[in-house]
Homo-oligomer: A and B are copies of this chain.
């Protein structure tokens, strides 16, 4: 199975990097089979994967071609980082952007919310409603500290898709992925410790580092392949790093999937330097390619990977259900879970277990993956249409967030202030950096792509353009 995926990744990267231009004929199945020493059917499978990702189009009797339509803007730069551990700042910025309640008067492109209007979620809401009404003592009181066993069994089953065989007993249910990540950090680090993170990186983790008095070491990160492994190796030699925290699948905010070879290499580095890996897989099930990418956890043999996830991006954030598979750190993670929230609400756990067990999760995912992929294409098109051509744009291969880079001296804080006056909000880039870098960048959500969102995009693009000519 890995052979065709590796080949697909390789070809995909070449196409996305522009080695093959739109309209170009791609290498024949036979030549690739010879070049890589794999069977014809392996190459065919790789091409079908590329087809699913919209990177190759078959023409009868002529082979595969790069689709002509999609004109991709330039990618953001590989991040330049200072390569020393820093204390995390930016709380004021984070608070300003995520502190408020949802509102109907502001189009919040900056929030990481999925679309929860899909009818495929109905069975989940029905279960929630029925279980709330039942007034069952065991359902409305304190549950097990580990979480409901039935749900943990379903989560273990889902994890098979990302390549992991984990027993239900090795999983702790948490109040969203937030609690899972906090639990993971606390399980492996002490105040003062250094944690290596991608750059840009999820602000929730960095604020937890700040809260615990830990330091973030931001690693240079490629917008297509993720964290730079040479830089990581150097950092591991130079600094007393205790853990590496990353989101290798459908990265937030850059949208890449780290190639499998890189995941393995990263794990080897972690083993050699004996550091833990805190893997956030909250977007992994939303990869546009099928089968979904493997987790680093799936290659883990000595329990050093703490896998954190939730259904807040795939299903409904308001359930506040996440989980952690903490490997060898199970005891410490459980203690932290107890400290944080005592136990997780039971009704959403039972409803979620029913939903997955009833076979509703996969159909919902298929629908959302397709919707988000169309959203990505629309969003890219709108950015090309409404933004000045100087901007650089990420090419997400999963999830529903896109990253836009403006020229270096651009001020996205000012942009956001101007936008809020016009009823639109974006996430400023600096909250994704411990040191407040990426002030010239922004992140936007394309989980829904209504006319209203297009209008909002137009407002953002025009405001950016206006600021650039000032």
Using C-beta atoms within 8 Å of the partner chain, give the interface range for chain A: 35 or more
Give the most central of A95, A178, A316, A345: most B CB within 10 Å.
A345
Contacts A211-B339, A339-B208, A345-B345 known; A129 to B133 CB distance under 8 Å?
yes
Tallying the copies of this chain within the complex gives 2
A→B interface (CB under 8 Å): 91, 94-95, 98-104, 111, 113, 116-117, 121-122, 125-126, 128-130, 132-133, 135, 137-146, 148-149, 175-176, 178-179, 182, 186, 190-191, 204, 207-208, 210-213, 312, 316-320, 334-336, 338-348
- Give, as a whole number of angstroms, the nearest-CB distance from A202 to chain B: 11
Q: How far is the CB of A447 from chain B (nearest CB, A)?
A: 10
A341 near B317: Cβ-Cβ < 8 Å: no
Instruction: Write out the residue numbers on chain B whose beta carbons fall within 8 Å of the beta carbon of A345.
Output: 318-320, 345, 348
**A335 to B94 alpha-carbon distance, docked (Å):** 10
Complexed CA–CA distance, A418 and B222 (Å) = 61
In the assembly, what is the distance between CA of A6 and CA of B188, in Å? 51
Give 7 pairs: A residue, B residue, CB < 8 Å, sorted on A: A101-B148, A117-B135, A126-B133, A128-B132, A142-B318, A178-B338, A320-B343
Name, among A95, A113, A117, the residue most crowded by chain B CB atoms within 10 Å (CB to CB): A95
State the main secondary structure of chain A at its contact with B: helix
With A125-B132, A132-B132, A137-B117: A339-B178 Cβ-Cβ less than 8 Å: yes
Closest 9 CB pairs of A and B: A101-B144, A178-B342, A128-B132, A140-B318, A129-B133, A129-B132, A320-B345, A102-B138, A211-B339
A133 CB contacts on chain B under 8 angstroms: 125-126, 128-129
Verify B141–A204 contact, CB threshold 8 A.
no
